[in-house]
A and B are shown apart, each in its own frame.
Chain A
């Protein structure tokens, strides 16, 4: 038995925290108590002055396997996730081949079971080959174990196909995750359209490219009644559209990523390809609107959009560089530093957005610390201030614009199914 002793526990159910011990046996939590439970355990984690919370659940990441193992694979990606305090992650289907059939889903699950450090839930494609033309065999994908469907990286541009996909997947309550981007409007843009794109002479992507699709998709979700989740919300306008949709009773949820409230378009200056991401880093005003959206609950959850790339795809001309940020290992610190210490949301609310609510939306096990449930736990040190160093990443992708930045809040232990997989800087 393992005892987490004397930590500040946020259990994902109560609105406050309490000090106590958590006893774990055979992968499950067997007792939570304000009394000392160490005498029952062979192994003890001293969590004094540390914070014990349900392991984070990321519903938007790219593990790149199969097809792009030079960027990341399930082994390295799940290690990176573990180092970031994540115990369950959902990987996007833009692999090669695409995860658009049951065999591919089974392959991911098998690989994850063999080599993974955390629980991996595949996301299936909405359309075959993510080409936006024909629906995938959604029921079979669901039975194989997908938690959602998405053509992430690309939108479903054809509105009729999107509507049919919502209707069809909606029969079983299977959520669609929409990458909202009007491709014709984004065209060959490589950063947010605005003063910085003007100054750098880079082609801009207007906010409208995202917002038009957000509007379309919430309208379709409203008419079909199907569950819709909007990926990586980055603009003020998107937040406003989703807020309005929710007030109308439409079944829509959404996520943002840490970089959309931790950085803005100015980070691209100097042609920093690590700040190239899709959707692009927006303006200060958008950053404020994202924070507001997190605060009032319009933005339900935070997902990383962990998108590792090889350095050869980043150390090139800015317009040619791949889009994406390797984000598992900086997610919690950025959230804690930029949201909690800035009083945007409380620590408990952060845990909800990184664990409890994603578990609920996508019907994933976890998100709370309860007796009888799987022991998926993150233990963090909120006092520790440190400088982000990408060279220490477990991810193969070192592409992260926060390298060299000072942050607060370090993941110290990650426990998956009762097993310590990350212990103070080391993957076990």
Chain B
């Protein structure tokens, strides 16, 4: 069990075998998460750095705990409190971290392609924890893991993603991952927040949110950033929630056993009503637990790869 590439940057260029590998491994990791003693020695002697250029609570904590449950040493670097604030370039920061005996750098960055830039310039493994509007692959992995758990598989599922697709790295990673795994992806949202050409990558685009939700197995709401209204992409948050928000009536159009997902943090009353967020079909809290499991799996697999390649050098 291992991954073919040094880095884990996105789901666009990953095949279904590797995704399956991670999801299968995550299943095992989830057992340890619910155990009384969570400490395992899978990553003993490994050092992991989270390099975050954007604020994050759940993703960072999730990676940090995943590392700790497997006995890795983990350190966190934030852009605001490091030499990044003094104007150091991403490449220089990356090379500095690399020289401290680090095995994996986990990067979150507001610009698309930043993780790729770092990966090209360091020899250690790089994991993308979200780059601009491009990808957030571990989020999609945890979403797929949750779907697998609840639905027994991904193949053939009808998944509706609702909201700001244009700016969403969660949507992109899910589109790549889900289509690779044989699910059907539908999207709906304001046309001002819909990027061009989605049909060409096998996504069904609906102008009407009801049509996208009808008979769906999974409905995923995306977080709406308040800035979208300020930059005129939307007339108002109010109208957004009225036209695109998930509520009881809309969810009733989906399959009875529909999963309601959200990458978090949620805006109650905007993307979805509290009723929907807290209903039995909602997996929002479960997704968080699964996030730790898939990140443990990914770290485990990627460091095993490093072990093998390091052996070649010595």
The residues of A with any CB-CB pair to B shorter than 8 Å are 193-195, 197-204, 270-271, 312, 315-320
Q: Is B108 an interface residue (CB 8 A)?
A: no
Q: Quick check: A316 and B91 within 8 Å, CB to CB? A: yes
How many residues does chain B have at the interface if contact means C-beta atoms less than 8 Å apart?
Answer: 24
Q: Is B89 an interface residue (CB 8 A)?
A: yes
How far is B111's CA from A316's CA once the two chains are assembled, in angstroms? 11
Given A197-B196, A201-B112, 18 extra CB contacts under 8 A: A195-B197, A198-B201, A199-B201, A203-B133, A204-B195, A204-B196, A271-B112, A271-B113, A271-B117, A315-B91, A315-B117, A316-B90, A317-B109, A317-B113, A318-B112, A318-B113, A318-B117, A319-B132
Q: Quick check: B112 and A200 within 8 Å, CB to CB? A: yes
Residue of A nearest to B114 (CB): A317
Which chain B residues border A195 with CB–CB below 8 Å? 196-197, 200-201
Binary contact track B156-193/A, C-beta < 8 Å → 1, others 0 = 00000000000001001000000000000000000000
Q: Quick check: A200 and B113 within 8 Å, CB to CB? A: yes
Smallest CB separation, B127 vs chain A (Å): 17
Smallest CB separation, A46 vs chain B (Å): 46
Smallest CB separation, A246 vs chain B (Å): 30
Residue of B nearest to A197 (CB): B195
How far is B115's CA from A200's CA once the two chains are assembled, in angstroms? 12
Q: Is B135 an interface residue (CB 8 A)?
A: yes
Which chain B residues border A317 with CB–CB below 8 Å? 90, 109, 111, 113-114, 117
Q: Is B198 an interface residue (CB 8 A)?
A: yes
Smallest CB separation, A61 vs chain B (Å): 28
Q: Quick check: A200 and B90 within 8 Å, CB to CB? A: no
Q: Which of A271, A315, A319 has the largest count of B CB atoms less than 10 A from its CB?
A: A271
Q: Quick check: A200 and B91 within 8 Å, CB to CB? A: no
Binary contact track B96-130/A, C-beta < 8 Å → 1, others 0 = 00000000000001011110110000000000000
Residue of A nearest to B194 (CB): A198
Secondary structure of the B contact surface, majority rule: mixed
Q: Is B46 an interface residue (CB 8 A)?
A: no
Q: Quick check: A271 and B12 within 8 Å, CB to CB? A: no
Q: Quick check: A202 and B196 within 8 Å, CB to CB? A: no
Q: Is B134 an interface residue (CB 8 A)?
A: yes
Which chain A residues border B114 with CB–CB below 8 Å? 317
Which chain A residues border B117 with CB–CB below 8 Å? 271, 315-318
Q: Quick check: A198 and B196 within 8 Å, CB to CB? A: yes
Q: Quick check: B112 and A316 within 8 Å, CB to CB? A: no
Q: Quick check: A202 and B113 within 8 Å, CB to CB? A: yes
Which chain B residues border A199 with CB–CB below 8 Å? 12, 172, 197, 201
Smallest CB separation, B43 vs chain A (Å): 29
Residue of A nearest to B12 (CB): A199
Give which listed residue, B111, B113, B169, B197, contacts A198 with CB less than 8 A: B197
Pairs A–B under 8 Å by Cβ, sample size 15: A195-B197, A198-B195, A198-B197, A199-B201, A200-B113, A201-B133, A201-B135, A202-B113, A202-B132, A202-B133, A271-B112, A316-B90, A316-B91, A317-B109, A319-B132
Q: Which of B89, B113, B114 has the largest count of A CB atoms less than 10 A from its CB?
A: B113
Q: Quick check: A194 and B113 within 8 Å, CB to CB? A: no
Give which listed residue, A194, A200, A319, A320, contacts B196 with CB less than 8 A: A194
Q: Which of A201, A202, A270, A312 has the largest count of B CB atoms less than 10 A from its CB?
A: A201
How far is B12's CA from A270's CA once the two chains are assembled, in angstroms? 11
Smallest CB separation, B166 vs chain A (Å): 8
Known contacts A200-B134, A201-B169, A319 near B112 by CB under 8 Å: yes
How far is B293's CA from A46's CA once the two chains are assembled, in angstroms? 73
How far is B172's CA from A316's CA once the two chains are assembled, in angstroms? 23
Q: Quick check: B132 and A201 within 8 Å, CB to CB? A: yes
Residue of A nearest to B168 (CB): A201
Smallest CB separation, B187 vs chain A (Å): 11
How far is B133's CA from A204's CA once the two chains are assembled, in angstroms? 12
Which chain A residues border B196 with CB–CB below 8 Å? 193-195, 197-198, 204
Residue of A nearest to B91 (CB): A315
Q: Quick check: A201 and B91 within 8 Å, CB to CB? A: no
Smallest CB separation, B244 vs chain A (Å): 20
Smallest CB separation, A270 vs chain B (Å): 7
How far is B201's CA from A270's CA once the two chains are assembled, in angstroms? 17
Give the contacts of B23-47 with A (CB-CB under 8 A).
none
Which chain B residues border A198 with CB–CB below 8 Å? 195-198, 201
Which chain A residues border B90 with CB–CB below 8 Å? 316-317
Which chain A residues border B133 with CB–CB below 8 Å? 201-203
Smallest CB separation, A47 vs chain B (Å): 44
Which chain B residues border A194 with CB–CB below 8 Å? 196-197
Give which listed residue, B89, B172, B200, contacts A201 with CB less than 8 A: B172
Residue of A nearest to B195 (CB): A198
How far is B195's CA from A193's CA once the two chains are assembled, in angstroms? 9
Q: Quick check: B134 and A201 within 8 Å, CB to CB? A: yes
Which chain A residues border B132 with CB–CB below 8 Å? 201-202, 319
Smallest CB separation, B229 vs chain A (Å): 16
Smallest CB separation, B233 vs chain A (Å): 11
Which chain B residues border A197 with CB–CB below 8 Å? 195-196
Give which listed residue, B89, B135, B169, contacts A316 with CB less than 8 A: B89
